C-alpha cells in the first residue's frame, strides 16, 4: 500500500523533479548523495540496463541525455511512499535529435533516500513499438 510522503521528502522530490525537468544538472546533483546510483531503463549491462554511480557520472549521463534528446519534458508526475522506498510515476515527452522523432512514454522510478538525499533511482519505461 502506498502512502503520502512526509513533508521533508515532498520538498526533496519537488526540488529534484523541478531540476530534472529544467535540465538543471547542478540542482539535480544537490538532491542526491555523493554515491548516488541510477539504474537506467536502457543500456548494455544485462539485466539492469546501465548503472551510473556517483555525482560525476550522473552529471555526464544527464549531459549525454541532453545531446540525444531535445525538448525533454516530464509531466503527470506522482510520488508515493512504499515502505522504505519512494515510487515515482511520470510521462516523458521529447524529440530525438538523431532523426527528429517524437518520444512519448510513461515510466516509473523506484528511489531510496538516505540522510535526506536521494541515494538511488531505478528507472523503468514503457517500451513503445509498432504493431
Per the domain annotation, does 81 fall within a domain?
yes
Q: What's the pLDDT score for residue 3?
A: 74
- The per-residue pLDDT for 1 is 42
102-126: per-residue pLDDT in tens? 999 999 999 999 999 999 999 999 9
| Per-residue DSSP letter, 5 | P
Domain range holding 18? 7-125
* pLDDT, tens digit, 9 for 90 and up, residues 16-49: 999 998 999 999 999 999 999 999 998 898 888 9
Which pTM was predicted? 0.91
Alpha helices in 51-110 (DSSP H): 55-68
Whole-angstrom Cα distance, residue 56 to residue 35? 10
Residue 2 is predicted with a pLDDT of 52
Nearest to 34 by CA among 115, 111, 105: 115
Query: Would the pLDDT of 83 be above 70?
Result: yes
Nearest to 26 by CA among 65, 72, 58: 58
Q: Give me the CATH number covering residue 78.
A: 3.10.450.50
> Strand 117-125 and strand 32-45: pairing?
parallel
Total structural domains within the chain: 1
- Residue 130 belongs to a domain: no
- Could you tell me if residue 2 is inside a domain? no
Amino acid at each position: 500500500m502506498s502512502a503520502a510522503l512526509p513533508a521533508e521528502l515532498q520538498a526533496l522530490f519537488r526540488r529534484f523533479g523541478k531540476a530534472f525537468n529544467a535540465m538543471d544538472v547542478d540542482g539535480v546533483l544537490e538532491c542526491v548523495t555523493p554515491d548516488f546510483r541510477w539504474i537506467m531503463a536502457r543500456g548494455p549491462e544485462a539485466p539492469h540496463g546501465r548503472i551510473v554511480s556517483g555525482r560525476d557520472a550522473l552529471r555526464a549521463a544527464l549531459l549525454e541525455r541532453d545531446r540525444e534528446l531535445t525538448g525533454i519534458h516530464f509531466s503527470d508526475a506522482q510520488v508515493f511512499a512504499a515502505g522504505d522506498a519512494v515510487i515515482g510515476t511520470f510521462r516523458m515527452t521529447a524529440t530525438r535529435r538523431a532523426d527528429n522523432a517524437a518520444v512519448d512514454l510513461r515510466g516509473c522510478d523506484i528511489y531510496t533516500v538516505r540522510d535526506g538525499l536521494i541515494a538511488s533511482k531505478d528507472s523503468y519505461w514503457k517500451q513503445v513499438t509498432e504493431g
